[in-house]
Amino acid sequence: MTDYFLCKPGDIPEGEGRAFQAGERVVAVFHANGRFHAMANKCLHRGASMCDGAIADGGSTIRCPWHNWTFDLETGRNVIDPREALRKFQVRVEDGQVILSA
């Protein structure tokens, strides 16, 4: 596991997401209700970029921009079929920096 510096917290506005290349991985990072969440960027359905999706359900889910597959930001699980899950990664704010462990 490697810790990556992503950005400053203000670089990802509340209610939005961004994608980062962290080593070999592309990780989507979302800022919802003052917290950051990180998960694999590629939707399990048809491969859309989740970072282009819409945060919904009061900031608890992210919806795929192509076909609305909706994933829980805390668990990465699809809200309709929890057997489908995007890989989650740890992300934290430390000394004014957003840090990803991946």
Partner 1 sequence: MNESAHSGFESARAVTPDPINPKIRTMEVVDTDFHFSPPWPVIRSYLKEPFKSRIWHYPAVGLEYNPEPANERPGVGQDTHGTAGTGAEVLRILDQFGTDIVILNPGYNRPMSIFSEPVLAAFCEAYNDYLVKEVFPVSPRIRANMMVCQRNPELAAREIRRVGHHRQFVGVFTEFSALYEQLGNARFDPIYDAMRDFDLVLTAHSGGWFNHFSPLFNGARTWIELFGNAPIANAIVHLAAMIVQGLFDKYPKQKILFQEGGVWWLSDFMLRIDDFYVSAPGDIALTERKLAAGERYLNKLPSEYILENVRFSTQPITIPKNPKHFGWMLELCHAKDLFCFSTDWPHQTMDPANWVVEHPGQIDEAMQKAILGGNARKLYARL
Q: Is 90 in the site for partner 1 (CB under 8 A)?
A: no
Local structure of 53: helix, strand or coil = coil
Q: Which of residues 59-88 bind partner 1 (CB under 8 A)?
A: 66-68
Task: State the pairing for strand pair 17-22/25-32.
Answer: antiparallel
User: Counting Cβ atoms within 10 Å, is residue 94 exposed (0-12), middle (13-18) or buried (19+)?
Assistant: exposed
Member of 41, 69, 72, 86 binding partner 1 (CB under 8 A) = 41
Q: CA-to-CA distance for 89 and 92, rounded, in angstroms?
A: 10
Q: Which is nearer to partner 1, 85 or 99 (CB)?
A: 99
Q: Is 51 in the site for partner 1 (CB under 8 A)?
A: yes
Member of 31, 37, 42, 88 binding partner 1 (CB under 8 A) = 42
